[in-house]
């Protein structure tokens, strides 16, 4: 008689439906990989009367989480509900009952991952969350397992498909942010309230998870510097393109010596960099290891089946661990002290766009201000400012300089009368 592993599923929306589809259609393959039959035996939902995209026996559907948490036959809980509460409470309670956990919940793991990991270790349970970052791209397993003998120095990625779709459309079709956002909402790529995506919060949660695993420290959302794309304009993108850059919302995690920086912000990426060619709703994560050098992981960042595939990959790992009797041993836990860089220690090139008086001596005055702050300029060009004869747009790209220096010079520009306005500034990556 075949061994059977029963699974409880919390959430039966898009991803939950995908999980059931894959389990039902791949039963034999899953058995051959794990040595056990996998059965979804309990499903927690909010509304039992709601129509589902896939049929399941109505007897296994419940609105009571305790029917799943305290079912002794359920060995693994898959959580795809989303949100912080009640998911956090349910999973902590499930772990206390000896359940192994697979979750796709990036919000929960970014904010309460350390708490859940500690609880899972205490009770000898597995906790896996591959699907929480970049959908179908197996990036977390690659970082934990694939780079286990290497030392990761940098993780840089496009980890939000909605913003990548918006920026790609703005660039290719010269459409405004508002118009493309509206189209993305109509197509289902963006939520009715798109704040988490367009203001960078979704990407920041994912970068906190990636940095925690990549650098073996306890990073959380508050450690990530966040700036979204809602203020990016077509003019910014046009000038960036003239200089050989593509605008992307980039998450960056870097470690120099023992000090770490993690940020999410609109970034001008050199066209020669692999991330510059990642378009539409696709995600990509670039990882630089001290020994292996440059690697990049690319694929769909969301969707029913890509995300469900990542969930099932974790489930297969958990079931194998159960069969081998090694659960609770394979989680990546922080073992380095968290040391964050100050703004004086964060270095990059920067794009700066100014509206200035179109008269002799202005460029020399700007150069003098920048030299006093220790900032040198790599590229500069000037364009007439539309509809104003005595104004011009001045676009600068600096050599590598600190974030502190850039913030200081931007403030200085705001104080002088020959600069009318600082229109924008962006980090610049690639091409070194």
How many whole angstroms separate alpha carbon 374 and alpha carbon 425? 18
Q: Quick one: how far is CA 177 from the chain centroid?
A: 21
Laid out side by side, the sheet with 4-10 consists of 61-62, 37-44, 4-10, 74-79, 100-103, 127-128
Q: Give the CA count within 13 Å in the CB-facing half-sphere of 386.
A: 1
Q: Is 261 helix (H, G, I), strand (E, B) or coil?
A: strand
Cβ count within 10 A of residue 46: 10
Which residues contact residue 343 at a Cβ distance below 8 angstroms, ignoring those fewer than 6 apart? 402, 403, 404, 407
CB 358 within 8 A of CB 352: no
Is 206 an annotated catalytic residue?
A: yes
Which candidate in 99, 206, 248, 403 is catalytic? 206
How is residue 9 written in tokens?
């599923």
Which residues contact residue 202 at a Cβ distance below 8 angstroms, ignoring those fewer than 6 apart? 106, 159, 160, 162, 196
Handedness of CA 51, 6, 100, 102 (dihedral sign): negative
Residue given tokens 């970052």 in the structure block: 133
CB 214 within 8 A of CB 152: yes
Q: Give the CA count within 13 Å in the CB-facing half-sphere of 382.
A: 13
Whole-angstrom CA distances from 210 to 72, 113, 132, 154, 221 are 34, 12, 10, 10, 11
How many whole angstroms separate alpha carbon 186 and alpha carbon 183? 5
The angle, 0 to 180 degrees and rounded to 10, between the axes of the packed helices 106-122 and 201-215 is: 30
CB 356 within 8 A of CB 427: no
Residues catalogued as catalytic? 206
């Amino acid at each position: 008689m075949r061994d059977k592993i029963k699974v409880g599923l919390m959430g039966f929306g898009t991803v939950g439906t995908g999980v059931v589809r894959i389990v039902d259609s791949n039963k034999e393959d899953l058995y051959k990989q794990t040595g056990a039959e996998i059965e979804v035996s309990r499903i927690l939902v909010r509304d039992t009367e709601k129509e589902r995209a896939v049929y399941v026996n109505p007897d296994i559907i419940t609105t009571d989480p305790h029917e799943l948490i305290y079912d002794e036959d359920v060995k693994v809980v898959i959580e795809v509900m989303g949100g912080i509460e009640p998911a956090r409470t349910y999973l902590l309670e499930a772990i206390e009952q000896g359940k192994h956990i697979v979750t796709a919940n990036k919000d929960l793991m970014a904010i309460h991952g350390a708490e859940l990991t500690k609880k899972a270790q205490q009770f000898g349970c597995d906790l896996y969350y591959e699907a929480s970052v970049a959908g179908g791209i197996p990036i977390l397993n690659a970082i934990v397992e694939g780079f286990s003998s290497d030392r990761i120095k940098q993780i840089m990625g496009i980890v939000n498909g909605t913003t990548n779709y918006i920026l790609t459309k703005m660039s290719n079709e010269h459409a405004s942010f508002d118009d493309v956002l509206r189209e993305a909402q109509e197509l289902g790529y963006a939520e009715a309230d798109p704040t988490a995506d367009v203001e960078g919060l979704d990407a920041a949660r994912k970068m906190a998870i990636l940095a925690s695993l990549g650098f073996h420290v306890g990073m959380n959302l508050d450690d990530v510097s966040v700036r979204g794309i809602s203020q990016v304009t077509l003019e910014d993108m046009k000038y960036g393109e003239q200089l050989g850059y593509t605008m992307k919302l980039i998450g960056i995690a870097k470690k120099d010596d023992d000090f770490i920086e993690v940020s999410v912000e609109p970034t001008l990426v050199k066209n020669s960099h692999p991330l510059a060619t990642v378009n539409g709703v696709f995600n990509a994560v670039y990882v630089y290891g001290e020994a292996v050098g440059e690697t990049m992981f690319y694929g769909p960042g969301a969707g029913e089946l890509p995300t469900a595939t990542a969930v099932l990959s974790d489930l297969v790992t958990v079931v194998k661990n159960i069969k081998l009797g090694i659960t609770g041993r394979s989680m990546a836990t922080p073992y380095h002290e968290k040391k964050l860089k100050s703004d004086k220690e964060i270095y990059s090139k920067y794009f700066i766009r100014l509206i200035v008086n179109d008269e002799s001596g202005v460029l020399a005055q700007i150069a003098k201000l920048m030299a006093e702050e220790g900032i040198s300029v790599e590229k500069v060009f000037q364009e007439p400012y539309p509809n104003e004869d005595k104004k011009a747009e001045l676009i600068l790209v600096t050599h590598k300089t600190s974030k502190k220096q850039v913030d200081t010079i931007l403030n200085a520009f705001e104080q002088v009368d020959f600069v009318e306005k600082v229109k924008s500034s962006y980090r610049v990556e690639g091409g070194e």
